[in-house]
Amino acid sequence: MRRRRQWLAVLLAGMMLAGSALPVYAQEEMLEAPVESGSAQSAAASYALAADEEGWNGTWQRTPQEIMDYLNELGDAVYGSYEMTFDEEPSTSVPYAPGKLSLETQQHALDTLNAIRYIAGIPADVTYNESYAERAQAGMLVNYVLDELAHEPSKPADMDDALYQLGFSGTSSSNIAWASWSGRSLSETLIYSWMEDGDMDNIPMVGHRRWLLNPDMGQTAFGMVDGDKGTYSAVYVFDYSGTSTENYYDVAWPARVMPTEFFGEDFPWSISTGTYQDESQVQVNLVQNRTGQEWNFSASGSDGEFYVNNGGYGQTGCIIFRPDNLSYKPGDTFQVTVTGLSGGRTLQYPVLFFDAETGAGADGTVKEGWIQEDGEWHFYENGTQVMSGWVSVQEEDPYNGNQIGKVWYHIGANGTPGKMDTGWIEDETGWKHYYLDTNGRMMHDVWANAQEQPAIGMPEGLYYLQSDGSVQMNGWAQFSEGAWLFCRPGDGLVQLENPDNWASRKLW
Render pLDDT for 58-81 as a digit per residue (tens, 0 to 9).
Answer: 445 799 999 999 999 999 899 898
pLDDT, residue 483, reads: 87
Q: HSE (CB half, 13 Å, CA atoms) of 95?
A: 0
**Which pLDDT value is given to residue 183?**
83
Enumerate the H helices of 281-349 as residue ranges: none
Query: How far is residue 173's CA from residue 239's CA, in Å, rounded to a whole number?
Result: 9
Cα separation of the two ends of the chain: 55
Q: Which of 47, 102, 113 is CA-nearest to residue 79?
A: 113
Residue 80: which of 166, 190, 156 has the closest Cα?
Answer: 190
d(CA 153, CA 165): 10
Give the C-alpha separation, 254 to 75, whole Å. Answer: 22
In 3-state terms, what secondary structure has residue 283? strand
CB distance 384 to 358 below 8 Å: yes
Q: What is the pLDDT of residues 258-283, one digit of tens each?
A: 999 999 999 999 999 999 999 999 99
Distances (CA, A) of 205 to 269, 363, 401: 11, 33, 60
* Paired sense of beta strands 345-354 and 257-259, if any: parallel
H/E segment holding residue 107:
helix 103-120
Q: Which residues of the chain have pLDDT under 70?
A: 1-60, 504-508
Whether the Cβ atoms of residue 411 and residue 425 lie closer than 8 Å to each other: no
CB atoms within 10 A of CB 131: 12
State the alpha helices, DSSP H only, in 213-290: none
Predicted structure pTM score: 0.80
What angle, 0 to 180 degrees and rounded to 10, lies between the N-to-C axes of helices 64-74 and 103-120? 180
Q: Determine the pLDDT at residue 503.
A: 72
How many angstroms separate the CA atoms of 192 and 215, rounded? 21
Could you give the CA distance from residue 53 to residue 345 in angstroms, rounded to a whole number?
A: 7
Q: CA-CA distance, 435 to 444, in Å (whole number)?
A: 9
| Cα–Cα dist 226/423, whole Å | 52
Distances (CA, A) of 442 to 143, 394, 473: 58, 13, 17
Strand residue runs (E) in 267-416? 269-272, 283-288, 294-298, 304-309, 318-323, 333-341, 345-354, 369-373, 376-381, 384-385, 389-397, 403-411
Burial of 411 (0-12, 13-18, 19+ CB in 10 A): buried
Phi, psi of 144 (to 5 degrees): -65, -45
473 and 487 in contact (C-beta within 8 Å)?
yes
Give the pLDDT of residue 42. 30
For residues 382 and 372, give the distance between their C-alpha atoms in angstroms, rounded to a whole number.
Answer: 17
